[in-house]
Chains A and B, each alone.
Chain A
Amino acid sequence: MTAFARLTSALAKRTLRDPAAVFFMLAFAPFYAVVMGLIFGNDPRPEFGGVGYVDANLVDFSAIVVAIAGLVLVPIDLVGQRETGALRRFRATPLRPIAYVAADLLVRWVIALVGIGLMIGVGVLGFGARPEGSLAGVLIMAALGTLVFLALGYALTAVVPTLGVAQLIGNVLVYPLIILSGATVPLALLPAGVQAAAQASPLTQLVVGLQGAWAGTPAWTPVVALTGVLAAATLVAARYFRWE
């Protein structure tokens, strides 16, 4: 096996052995879809413009997975590895540092997307959800959003000094972002000023993008906004990432 394949396999195994990672990245979204589906069903409702709850909200749940995977799990794991000296041990080998980052991103990206895929499967097969738009569009949007938030996680890892700060910032950021994204509480229920502010959040943009792709009303704004955040996060991570 090549170094990259071996590294990807080792990182995949250790990520899948982490109960928190498995729960939030793989199990949470399908589980949430089942619970919400059982509570609200998918019968057409006027407040959702004539579609059911699951059809109207299913893809939004991806935002929760993506935000936790990127902003909470990445910094805690990588700052932890930086503090114990695990990352430094790799520096003492011929492995190129970028290969480690690439393998780690790939593993997390695939696992989070599998979780989102399972969630959509639950919605479609379990509750009869049907996209007006395309499933491929939804998956592309989810793929972009996952990448953006993993990059944000790496940027956060680069700038936080200690594991404690990483945990604090991750948790302080992630819950308001989730609430403002419309993934849990419909944005329409929030005050107008808050709704406007929420548009500045990349997680809100992701939800808008996902909904557009699902409903067959795709928009370019979320794609442009998310690509910009991806570029900025990558720059910060590349500039400030520390191995020790």
Chain B
Amino acid sequence: MSDVVVCQDVVKAYGDRQVLRGVSFAVRPGEVFGMIGPNGAGKTTLMECIEGLRRHDGGAISVLGLDPQRQTRELRERTGVQLQSSALPTRITVREALELFASFYADPADPRTLLERLGLADKADTYVEKLSGGQRQRVFIALALVNRPEVVFLDELTTGLEPQARLAIWDVVRDIRDAGTTVFLTTHFMEEAERLCDRVAVLDRGRVVALDTVPGLVARLGAPTRLSFTVEGELPLARLEALPDVSRVRREGQRVTVHGSGERFPQEVVGVLSQAGVWAKDLETERASLEAVFLELTGREPAAEAA
């Protein structure tokens, strides 16, 4: 199957302000593709260009083989959209909203099944504006799924939600992927990208500065990793420090912490220990997180979570 979304050198400016400066990447069928980046990196602008809600100035975008600017109606039929600041007209119930949006499409999903799938069945007769943040966000996900889309775009879908609601939404996104729909999401929560995305692109100042799986990003950056264990007896300190991927070895009583980088270094450490006949207990590795990658690539802390 060919790629679901393909962007090539996409450029977009608002007046003098260059927002996208040549963005290229491809989203593969069936994956959860995440786009992370600092606020103002251009995530939402890029997503809206892909959705056909905004015109890009240059470069090429293809979604399911369609041109979002020219084949907008067919694109709308086959894609699902959850906008960053979503709202519905007031005084409409959840059921009415779903039935209404279902009527806009040629081959919609059954609204009742969708409500059950998203855990909204008991809220069907409630006005959308009376729901909690997490429930409302599930309504907007339901609206994005009502046309049985081949790919669904979710822009900052857990921003402003409580941790509990966020976990529930993550389960929903995994269900969508498991049902065969490709998911393209933006987020500024590193944990969300780590837990949810098969591949992550880092967008910074209008460019994709990295794109890989989360472990791939961490490994490629050579971000530091820590390995700690407890030893009884003599530690082969010199041999450990001589390992090329090891940067530092620290010992506090019986507990030893080895700092290093690269994917192979924990195994090398263990290899040295077993050659020396040293028995290591309570072995723990602590891998660098996506947060460290983000900091390294963009020079900025990920945006703090809005309280």
Contact = CB atoms under 8 A, between A and B. Distances in A.
B92 A14 contact: yes
Interface stretch (B24-32, B95-103, B271-279): B95-103
Contacts, number: 62
Interface in A62-96: 80-81, 84-86, 88-89, 91-95
B76 A93 contact: yes
B96 A13 contact: yes
A86 B97 CA distance: 12
Contacts of B103: 1-3, 5-7
Interface string A1-36: 111011100110110011000000000000000000
Contacts of A88: 53, 83, 87
Interface in B92-143: 92, 96-97, 99-101, 103-105, 143
A92 B76 contact: yes
A168 to B, nearest CB: 21
B79 to A, nearest CB: 9
Given A13-B92, A81-B89, A92 B51 contact: yes
Given A3-B104, A6-B103, A94-B77, A86 B87 contact: yes
Given A92-B76, A94-B104, A86 B99 contact: no
Contacts of B99: 6
A6 B105 contact: no
B81 interface: yes
Contact of A10 (B77, B83, B96): B96
Given A1-B103, A94-B73, A85 B86 contact: yes
Given A85-B85, A94-B105, A6 B100 contact: yes
Interface in B44-92: 51, 53, 73, 76-77, 81, 83, 85-92
Interface residues of A, number: 24
B86 A7 contact: no
B48 to A, nearest CB: 9
Contacts of B105: 93-94
B91 A17 contact: yes
Nearest to A99: B104
Contacts of B96: 10, 13
A2 B104 CA distance: 8
Contacts of A3: 103-104
Interface string A27-71: 000000000000000000000000000000000000000000000
| 7 tightest A-B CB contacts, nearest first | A84-B87, A6-B103, A14-B91, A85-B87, A17-B91, A94-B76, A86-B87
7 contacts: A10-B100, A11-B89, A14-B91, A81-B89, A84-B87, A85-B87, A93-B76
